[in-house]
Structure 1
Amino acid sequence: MPSPRLLVIEGNSPKTMAEHKAVGGTIASQGYGDLLRELLPGAAVDVCYPGDVAAALPQGQALEGYDGIAITGSGLHVYNDGPEVTRQIDLVRAALSTGTPLFGSCWGLQVLTVAAGGQVRRNPKGREIGFGRGIRLTDAGRKHPMYVGKIEVFNAPTVHLDEVETVAPGTTILASNAVSAVQSAEIRTNGSVAWGVQYHPEYPLRELAAIVRRIGTGLIAEGFFGDETEVKAFSQELDTLDKDPACKRLSWRHGISTNVLDKKLRTSEVANWIEFQVLPTRAKRGRG
């Protein structure tokens, strides 16, 4: 049997990717691809860049040839016009017609929602940054395979300014918190099943640190930090905790639990997607 094939859709524009790399971050699709290879050893992972208007995109049978498609976060806003946004919506809409399982993080959930007929807005409650607190599973979420092994109320790495305003037809909300009513969802449409989360199970703490450095000026303006010194101190502490998850001093200070610090627990949603969506669909298609 051929090796599993996965596709990662990079949500960012070339400009944001360059800025993120310049502050010591890892390109979102690279980090996602590394995690997928770790969770599914032997998998071949391709990446496409619809946020780059000059990049070629897979279509039709090329999309059907994948066993799973993951969508990264992004610094874009799905309600804005422009080809870097519309190309992504069109690509995800096409993917939703293939029967291939999809998983979206943050921007990924938002693009899936719009592609399936829902709406996204700027969150009137403002940005959620660092860690999504008190994310609570709904009744449907407690029974859902995405949350096998997950506690009922948890925190997760998070950075978003937008949220799902109107869910698409075929959506089941799986988790909520005080900031966003839709912290995760399953979308069933056109014979496809997509799982999406508003947070980032794929992010290690060092990626949150890099994002804070990259958008620090905006975070100061929004009142999260007093000045650049506070931005630097916060990002440095996240970097330290990433290298030493057992550092009680910093985990206590930032209220970060084992559910975030333990990589297996933090990434369980993605692992469960592979186990309960990617591999069973691959078997039904006679590929494994």
Structure 2
Amino acid sequence: MGLRLLVAEGNVESHRERVRALTGRTPSQGYADVLRKLAPDATVDIVFPADPGANIPGAGLESYDGIAITGSALNVYKPDDACTSQIEFARAVFAAKVPFFGSCWGLQVATVAAGGSVRANPKGREVGIARAIRLTEAGRGHGLHDGRPETFDAPCVHMDEVETLAEGMVVTATNAVSDVQAAEITYDGGTFWGVQYHPEYDLTDIAGVLDRYRPILLGEGYLHDEGLLDRMIADYRTLAADPSRRDIAWPWGLDRMITDEAERLAEIRNWIELRVRPVAAERVRGA
């Protein structure tokens, strides 16, 4: 029997449609595509907990072998219905004891659900590529990062960061911008593996982020030349079609951690192989 996986879209409808216009897919559709690629035997459903009247499975969460939460443009410290419903959803996933994963917003929501806090990062925004992510002592031997070198880069886009750790939270990766770049959280009988970066993003997604954040990148001084930004976006899209183009990757400081899909997807693959499949097999044996 194949895996049954659930992706929770972190965005409200207006934002996910804006992402679709730039990349051809919503964040949850992109995440579902990655899960199907890494687990071809999986059936992947999508749920929208930020939407009023969302199709949240409720007690049916236990029927899934793994649940993942995408990134989001929301801020968890600005509580509204779209945020609070996702915090409650995360608590329900913990209580269901289903293997749980999240990128960026997913890590933040899981942290708050387990009793920690999140803030706007006083060091500013991290966008495009998170540089020099470093495994902590706990992270070096952690299955979440199997196959990763001790220091690596990863796709990212976030302004917020974990401020206060939840009880039972272990930080597994960090960098100069965010103290918590990856972590494990145990809460209410459940276990979450999550990252502040976006391993699920390919180069098309990163180009979409740069395009979407164009006014911010220019306004906040990341770049002062819109033509240079246009060239960066175009190069990322070209590299997406042909990742072997060293002549494009090298000038922008992109290495195999970004251009090689197998390298980039390490944490999600590890979650499926080391958390989802073993727990699913144990459930079958115990049935």
Q: Which moved more, 1:248-257 or 1:226-235?
A: 226-235
Q: 1:231 Cα deviation (Å)?
A: 3.0
- 1:101-180 matches, within 5 Å, as 101-180=99-178
Shift of 1:243: 1.2
Q: CA deviation at 1:230?
A: 3.3
DSSP-derived class of the 2:130 partner? strand
Question: Amino acid of the residue matched to residue 56 of structure 1?
Answer: N
Please say if residues 49 and 82 of structure 2, whose CA atoms lie closer than 8 Å, have aligned partners that are also in contact.
yes
Structure 1 residue 227 displacement after superposition: 4.9
Alignment gaps of 5+ in structure 2: none
Q: 2:201 aligns with which of 193, 200, 203?
A: 203
Pairing 1:272-283 to 2, within 5 Å after superposition: 272-283=270-281
Counterpart of 2:66? 68
Q: Give the secondary structure class of the aligned counterpart of 1:70.
A: strand
Q: CA deviation at 1:148?
A: 1.2
- Residue identity matched to 1:40: A
Q: Distance in 2 between matches of 1:160 and 1:261?
A: 21
> Normalization by structure 2: what TM-score?
0.96
TM-score (norm 1): 0.96
Equivalent residue, structure 1, for 2:26:
27
* Aligned-residue offset at 1:266: 0.6
Distance 1:248 1:269 in 2: 25
AA of the residue aligned to 2:15: T
Letter of the 1:154 partner, please give it.
F
Partner of 1:44: 43
Deviations for 1:62-119, whole angstroms, at most 9, x for unmatched residues? 1111000011011111111211111111101111111100010011100010011000
CA contact (8 A) 2:155 2:258 kept: yes
Identity of aligned residues (%): 48
Cα distance in 2 for residues equivalent to 1:224 and 1:230: 11
Q: Distance in 1 between matches of 2:88 and 2:227?
A: 42
- 1:284 aligns with 282
Amino acid at match of 1:37: R
Cα distance in 1 for partners of 2:83, 2:70 equals: 13
For 1:260-271, list aligned pairs within 5 A: 260-271=258-269
How much is the aligned-residue C-alpha RMSD, in angstroms?
1.3
Aligned equivalents of 1:138, 1:218: Cα separation in 2: 31
1:38 shift after superposition: 1.1
Deviation at 1:24, TM superposition (A): 3.2
SS of residue paired to 2:23:
coil
Q: Which runs of 5+ in 1 are unaligned?
A: none
